[in-house]
Amino acid sequence: MALLEISELKKSFLNPEGFDHKVINVKRFILDDKSHVVLQGESGLGKTTFLHLIAGILKPDAGRITIAGQAMSALSELERDRLRATTIGYIFQAFNLLQGYTCLENVLLGMSFGPGADRAFAETLLRRVGLGEHLKHRPRQLSIGQQQRVAVARALANRPRLVLADEPTGNLDHKNALKSVTLIREVCRENGAALLLVSHDREILSQFEKVQEFGAINNISQEETSL
């Protein structure tokens, strides 16, 4: 059963010269419920923009995104915020943890915009990712790998049906990158969440059963992207 359905999705930005720079042109993309898919592609192809569109952070110029039966385009900004908070978990490449907050507070804050803060579950998640001893540590007191695990816990905190992960291993060394992806997949599986992960690391790609070339689904010609 499809959790995410995308059709005729288009997004362009104005470049400094005032011309339209087409970034996204996806005819059709489907992600099944509880499935784990990796999108591969080189930098600059619009993968982050694609994830932002799915998350409702960006508004498409045209097309349709349906998540768990809800068409994003039909939703108001407020409803999109709500859907993002309750249905989508987002792991950013730069983790985007709030530096003034402890690990636990980062996770609780993510929960508070969704169904509400659940301290016990937040602590369970942080223990699950190996940070039980670091609940009150601030991000800068943690290693990069530990910070990423906080980001994973935060993304899973609202029991989302869809987890988006944008180059989550981009800042990790090879060994930790593999461990990290394994952990993300395990935690997603345990929580019944589908995973759409973006990466161009071949080792990471090899871990997934389903790999899609982003260039194949995003029909932007070379001339268009270079404009």
Partner 1 sequence: MTIWLIVFKSLRQHALSTVVTAFSVALAGGLLMSVWSIKEQSEATFTGVNAGFDAVLGARGSKLQLVLNAIFNLEASPGNLAWSDFLDIQRNPDVELAVPIAVGDNYHGYRLVGTTLDLFEKNEYAPGRKYALQAGGNWFDPKRREAVVGDFVARKMNLKVGDTFHPFHGLIFDEKNQHSETYVVVGVLKPSNTPADQVIWIPLEGLQKMSGHDPKLATEVSAVLVKLKADSALAGFQMDFMYNRQGNRLTFAWPIGTVMAELFAKIGWFNRVLTLVSYLVAIVATASILASIYNSMNERRREIAILRALGARRTTVFTCILLEAASISILGMLAGFVLYGIIFTIVADIIRAQTGVVLDPLKFNIVMLWAPVSLIALGTLAGIVPALKAYRTDVAENLVPIS
In eight-state DSSP terms, residue 219 is -
In eight-state DSSP terms, residue 226 is H
Q: What is the DSSP pairing of strand 88-91 with strand 162-166? A: parallel
Does position 104 interact with partner 1 (CB under 8 A)? The reply is: no
What minimum distance in Å lies between the beta carbon of 114 and partner 1?
6
Task: Identify whether the C-beta of residue 139 lies closer than 8 Å to the C-beta of residue 99.
Answer: yes
Strand partners, 12: 22
Which run of H or E residues covers position 183? helix 174-190
Binding-site member from 3, 37, 38, 85 for partner 1 (CB under 8 A):
85
Does position 180 interact with partner 1 (CB under 8 A)? The reply is: no
Please report, as residue ranges, which positions from 137 to 176 form the binding site for partner 1 (by CB under 8 A).
154, 166-167
Q: In what order do the strands lie in the sheet with 194-199?
A: 88-91, 162-166, 194-199, 36-40, 210-213
With contacts defined by CB under 8 A, name the span among 27-35, 49-57, 60-68, 121-129 that binds partner 1: 49-57
Does position 117 interact with partner 1 (CB under 8 A)? The reply is: yes
Binding-site member from 12, 49, 147, 191 for partner 1 (CB under 8 A):
49
Does position 201 interact with partner 1 (CB under 8 A)? The reply is: no
104 vs 184, beta carbon nearer partner 1: 104
Does position 2 interact with partner 1 (CB under 8 A)? The reply is: no
Distance CA 120, CA 97 (A): 20
Does position 114 interact with partner 1 (CB under 8 A)? The reply is: yes
Does position 135 interact with partner 1 (CB under 8 A)? The reply is: no
Binding-site member from 66, 73, 86, 146 for partner 1 (CB under 8 A):
86
In three-state secondary structure terms, 13 is: strand
Extract the tokens encoding 39. 């999108």
With contacts defined by CB under 8 A, name the span among 38-46, 66-74, 123-131, 176-184 that binds partner 1: 38-46
Distance CA 129, CA 116 (A): 21
Taking residue 137's Cβ as centre, other Cβ atoms within 10 Å add up to 16
Q: Which residues bind partner 1 (CB under 8 A)?
A: 43-45, 47-49, 52, 55, 57-58, 77-78, 81-82, 84-86, 90, 92-94, 96-98, 100-101, 105, 109-110, 112-114, 117, 154, 166-167
